Amino acid sequence: MRTPTGLERFGVVAPTIVREPARDDQDIPICAECGYPVAKSKGPHRVEKPQLVDDNLADALEYLVTYGWRCDRHAADVVMPSHASGPDAPGMIDGWIGVQLRFADEHVRYVPIPEREVADVE
Ligand SMILES: [Zn+2]
The domain spans of the chain are: 12-118
The pTM assigned to this predicted structure is 0.85
Whole-number Å distance, alpha carbon 119 to ligand 1 midpoint, is: 32
Distances (CA, A) of 66 to 23, 42, 69: 19, 11, 9
pLDDT tens per residue across all 122 residues of the chain? 556 566 566 677 889 999 999 999 999 999 999 999 999 999 999 999 999 999 999 999 999 999 999 999 999 999 999 988 788 766 667 889 999 999 999 999 999 999 988 877 75
Q: Bridge partners of 46?
A: 65
| Distance of CA 12 from the midpoint of ligand 1 (Å) | 21
Distance of alpha carbon 59 from alpha carbon 68, whole angstroms: 24
For residue 30, how far is its CA from the centre of ligand 1 (angstroms)?
8
Ligand 1 centroid distance, CA of 37 (Å): 8
Please count the other Cβ atoms lying within 10 Å of the Cβ belonging to residue 10: 7
